[in-house]
Chains A and B, each alone.
Chain A
Amino acid sequence: MSNAILQKVSKKYNNVLALNDVSVTIEPNEWIAVMGPSGSGKSTLLNIIGGLDSPTAGKVIVAGEEISKLSSKQLATFRREKAGFVFQQFYLVPYLTALENVMLAQYFHSMTDEQEAVAALERVGLGDRLRHLPSELSGGEQQRVCIARALINHPQLILADEPTGNLDAENERIVLKLLADLHRDGHTIIIVTHAPHIGEQAQKIIRLAHGRLVDVQLSAACQFCKI
């Protein structure tokens, strides 16, 4: 069964057509890169797949569930159970420590398990930064907290919107390595990026322009995923 199916999906903001009749299918455990110029609808596509936004027209089926028909409450349930988000701006709660930010996702999902949250942060190499506030962490460290938060509830989908956009080369390498590890563990990864070298890490590249699907191509070389 496909992990995500988008059929003729359009999204209009006021008079601007952000997505125009996009149809695409994403298989389980695929690593997809969504690429295109600014304003091409990359983030909108990602947000619609993750249940953060709803399409104006078309059908979106994710993990067997037609999320385009869900209420806002059902979408919240979908997000906490099926999707993990990694944002370019990190979006951590500023007054909570790294550990608490990860546990926050557990709290909204079901119940907190501090040991599991510690293990998630150790996995992203932040075992010694558990009690640090976001303001006390570097950008790369904050993004790794964000990845730990995204994976803590074992979602099928990891959705990353320009996750390395604010990072230096070394932190970019660390973050991409972590995403590759998650992919190897069976997660479906959808990453929005401008950078061709990051797109090349994916198995499949979806190209958008002016809200339209231009091309879906297999990546020439996937360094981490070893197709």
Chain B
Amino acid sequence: MFNRILFKSLRGRDSRQLAAFFSVVIAASVAATLLTIRADTGAKINVELRAYGANLVLTPAAESEKQTLSVSATMQLPWPALRDTLRGLAPVLYGVMAPVENSNAATLRAIVALGTNLEAMRQVNSFWSITPPVTELHENEILVGQAAARKLNLSTGQSLSWRAAATGDTAGFRIAGIVSTGENEDDQIILNLTTLQKMLRQPDRATLALASVQGGPAVVEKLVADISGHTAEIQARPIRKIAGSEAHILRILTLLMSIVTAFTVVVATLCLGATMTALIVERQKEVGIMKAIGAENRHVARLVAAELTLLGLAGGLVGYWVGFFFAGVISKNVFNTYASLRLEILPMVLILSLGISLVAAIFPLRRALQIAPIIVLRGE
């Protein structure tokens, strides 16, 4: 009988119930949108920030006697455990190239050479711009930094020779492209790692290694701890300005979303409370009749609470899907990706919707319980 009263009561008041229902849907959808975006944002911002370069640098440990890293040892670090979060790992070897006598005038000055695996470096520092596009450096190919090319009047396709200052070994190169990074590399030349190792006679060695790790500062910190526990030879340090930016942006976004959600929830609760109060006023004769034929306050409270619970759950469910839709639209426009369907958000949205409904019920319920049947039946 209770269910019959409940469903017929809900069905019998379309316009007001609809207004109450939409109040819940709006609050639930805003919450679902922001929670979905919030859940996705960490990963997406992280991906976006990975384009700004490495957030982890590996160097020889301070207590290590060696000045350089073993490339093979670096590659054997516990990366497999973090395969999903590691975007790239690029070993870097630095050396100084001296001018070769009797060579052309352009090379008659010393320049810093950076040896690396270009493909891995592009994964770490995807912002490197190379003209024309080069994905791999062969043994006799180099990239010249934009500023260096200007100063030395070098251009793509030119051939020239350099001598490693440390060893005196000489090699001839062809310029495969001009690289622009906005950083120190603009004044350097970029070589294949193996080539530079040979010229410096430092096989399998690197000055440092740069890593780009997804997952935010917490993942980076965990990786640093893992590496420290794994080897005493290598020291891992987070690049704070990048890792810290991620945390900072996420904190601001979370705060902003929390404020918007809280504001929406408060407005929706007030709207729902006003609608439900109007609904109770509209229904006070019906409540009076029920009380006249023997209903106690608990019967009325149970009916009102059940109506609001159903309203909250239905509104929450619809709001979840509406929120998912809007999260998809926002993700597509801001991050150019699709929002993930996150079922773990559904219970949160339902609890929130129920909470809104029940808080909104306080005043109308008090009013309903105060209805005296005789007052209503007398038409006062």
Which of B58-66, B237-245, B269-277, B295-303 is found at the contact surface with chain A?
B295-303
Q: Which of B286-327 contact A (CB under 8 A)?
A: 286, 289-297, 299
- Bound Cα distance from A103 to B1, whole angstroms: 8
- Bound Cα distance from A79 to B291, whole angstroms: 9
Q: Within the complex, what minimum Cβ distance (angstroms) separates B13 from chain A? A: 8
- Bound Cα distance from A195 to B161, whole angstroms: 126
B11 contacts A76, C-beta separation under 8 Å: no
If A52-B373, A93-B286 touch, whether A79 touches B292 (CB-CB below 8 Å) is yes
Point out which of A52, A72, A77, A106 has the most chain B C-beta atoms below 10 A from its C-beta: A52
Residue of A nearest to B379 (CB): A89
Q: Which of A82-121 contact B (CB under 8 A)?
A: 85, 87, 89, 91-96, 100, 103-109, 112
B374 contacts A53, C-beta separation under 8 Å: yes
- Bound Cα distance from A95 to B12, whole angstroms: 6
A85 neighbours in B (Cβ, 8 Å)? 292-293
- Bound Cα distance from A100 to B294, whole angstroms: 15
Is the CB of A149 closer than 8 A to any CB of chain B? yes
B296 contacts A93, C-beta separation under 8 Å: no
A108 neighbours in B (Cβ, 8 Å)? 290, 293-296, 299
B296 contacts A76, C-beta separation under 8 Å: yes
Q: Within the complex, what minimum Cβ distance (angstroms) separates B374 from chain A? A: 5
B5 contacts A104, C-beta separation under 8 Å: yes
Contact of B374 among A52, A89, A107 (CB under 8 A): A52
Is the CB of A80 closer than 8 A to any CB of chain B? yes
B2 neighbours in A (Cβ, 8 Å)? 107
B11 neighbours in A (Cβ, 8 Å)? 95
A112 neighbours in B (Cβ, 8 Å)? 1
Task: Give A202-227 as 1s and 0s: 1 = Cβ < 8 Å from B's Cβ atoms.
Answer: 00000000000000000000000000
A52 contacts B377, C-beta separation under 8 Å: yes
If A94-B12, A95-B8 touch, whether A104 touches B290 (CB-CB below 8 Å) is yes
B289 neighbours in A (Cβ, 8 Å)? 91-93
Is the CB of B9 closer than 8 A to any CB of chain A? yes
Q: Within the complex, what minimum Cβ distance (angstroms) separates A108 from chain B? A: 4
Contact of A96 among B8, B297, B377 (CB under 8 A): B8
Give the bracket for the number of chain B residues in contact with chain A.
20 to 34
Is the CB of B4 closer than 8 A to any CB of chain A? yes
Residue of B nearest to A109 (CB): B294
Is the CB of A47 closer than 8 A to any CB of chain B? yes
B8 neighbours in A (Cβ, 8 Å)? 95-96, 100
B293 contacts A79, C-beta separation under 8 Å: yes
B294 contacts A94, C-beta separation under 8 Å: no
B294 neighbours in A (Cβ, 8 Å)? 76-77, 79-81, 105, 108-109, 153
- Bound Cα distance from A77 to B2, whole angstroms: 18
If A76-B295, A100-B4, A104-B5 touch, whether A93 touches B290 (CB-CB below 8 Å) is yes
Is the CB of A73 closer than 8 A to any CB of chain B? yes
Q: Within the complex, what minimum Cβ distance (angstroms) separates B31 from chain A? A: 32
Residue of A nearest to B289 (CB): A91
B293 neighbours in A (Cβ, 8 Å)? 79-80, 85, 104-105, 108, 149
B4 contacts A87, C-beta separation under 8 Å: no
A89 neighbours in B (Cβ, 8 Å)? 377
If A52-B377, A73-B297, A108-B299 touch, whether A91 touches B1 (CB-CB below 8 Å) is no
Task: Give B361-380 as 1s and 0s: 1 = Cβ < 8 Å from A's Cβ atoms.
Answer: 00000000000111001100
Contact of A87 among B296, B297, B377 (CB under 8 A): B377
Q: Which of B326-380 contact A (CB under 8 A)?
A: 372-374, 377-378
Point out which of A43, A81, A93, A94 has the most chain B C-beta atoms below 10 A from its C-beta: A93
- Bound Cα distance from A112 to B1, whole angstroms: 7
Q: Within the complex, what minimum Cβ distance (angstroms) separates B16 from chain A? A: 13
A93 neighbours in B (Cβ, 8 Å)? 5, 286, 289-290
- Bound Cα distance from A79 to B294, whole angstroms: 5
- Bound Cα distance from A165 to B12, whole angstroms: 28
- Bound Cα distance from A48 to B290, whole angstroms: 18
Q: Within the complex, what minimum Cβ distance (angstroms) separates B162 from chain A? A: 92
- Bound Cα distance from A196 to B341, whole angstroms: 75
B292 contacts A73, C-beta separation under 8 Å: no
If A76-B291, A108-B290 touch, whether A47 touches B374 (CB-CB below 8 Å) is yes
Residue of A nearest to B4 (CB): A100
A104 contacts B377, C-beta separation under 8 Å: no
Q: Within the complex, what minimum Cβ distance (angstroms) separates B136 from chain A? A: 76
B292 contacts A91, C-beta separation under 8 Å: yes
Residue of A nearest to B288 (CB): A91
Q: Within the complex, what minimum Cβ distance (angstroms) separates A57 from chain B? A: 17
Q: Within the complex, what minimum Cβ distance (angstroms) separates B4 from chain A? A: 6
B299 neighbours in A (Cβ, 8 Å)? 108
- Bound Cα distance from A213 to B299, whole angstroms: 37
B292 neighbours in A (Cβ, 8 Å)? 52, 79, 85, 91
Task: Give B5-25 as 1s and 0s: 1 = Cβ < 8 Å from A's Cβ atoms.
Answer: 100110110000000000000
Report the 9 A-B pairs with minimum CB-CB distance, sorted nearest first. A80-B294, A95-B12, A108-B294, A107-B1, A95-B8, A112-B1, A76-B296, A53-B374, A91-B289
Q: List 22 A-B contacts (CB under 8 A).
A: A72-B297, A72-B372, A73-B297, A76-B294, A77-B296, A79-B292, A85-B293, A89-B377, A91-B292, A92-B289, A93-B290, A95-B9, A95-B11, A95-B12, A96-B5, A100-B4, A100-B8, A104-B5, A104-B290, A107-B5, A108-B294, A108-B299
